[in-house]
Amino acid sequence: MEDLSDLYQEIILSHNKRPRNGEPLIPCTHQADGFNPLCGDKLTVYVRKPDDLVDEISCDTEGCAISRASGSIMTTLVQGKKISEIETLIEETKALLTGDEEPEIDLVQHGDMAALIGVRKFPARIKCATLAWHALESALKGEVDATTE
């Protein structure tokens, strides 16, 4: 990751070392697994959503630093938000990470997400960064599996 700026690398490594909300959430109302065969990342997203609001969320990741950081950052952004807000966030994140247009990264606006957007420079690792978001989407739809193709 030598081209990833030091700051982004620091954000990723900090989340990797101490993932936020990284423990299984049991019982939960929604759950989905994600698997990225390109890198071997595996994760499970747990959601406690008694109504229209995500009360609690966790992402238990076994994988590389980027996948672990992505899951951790995802939970901090989603916790306490309404489903409609989260759906918008998922779409925005996909566009930032995989859209054709190169996004302008603004550390103030994007916060820790800026570090994930920095992964765009490494196409082989993009799926590591999007895995948790795909699994979140599946979990909210009530699906069980989110293997990326």
Binding interface with Zn ion (CB under 5 A): 39, 41, 63-64, 67, 128
Least Å from the CB of residue 120 to Zn ion: 15
Which residue's CB is nearer to Zn ion, number 43 or number 54? Answer: 43
Whichever of 4 and 86 has its CB closer to Zn ion, that residue is 4
Closest approach of Zn ion to the CB of residue 83, in Å:
28
Shortest reach from residue 73's CB to Zn ion, in Å: 14
Of 41 and 112, which has the nearer Cβ to Zn ion? Answer: 41
Q: Give residues with Cβ within 8 angstroms of 112, minimum separation 6.
A: 11, 15, 69, 73, 76
Non-local CB neighbours of 100 within 8 Å, separated by 6+ positions: none
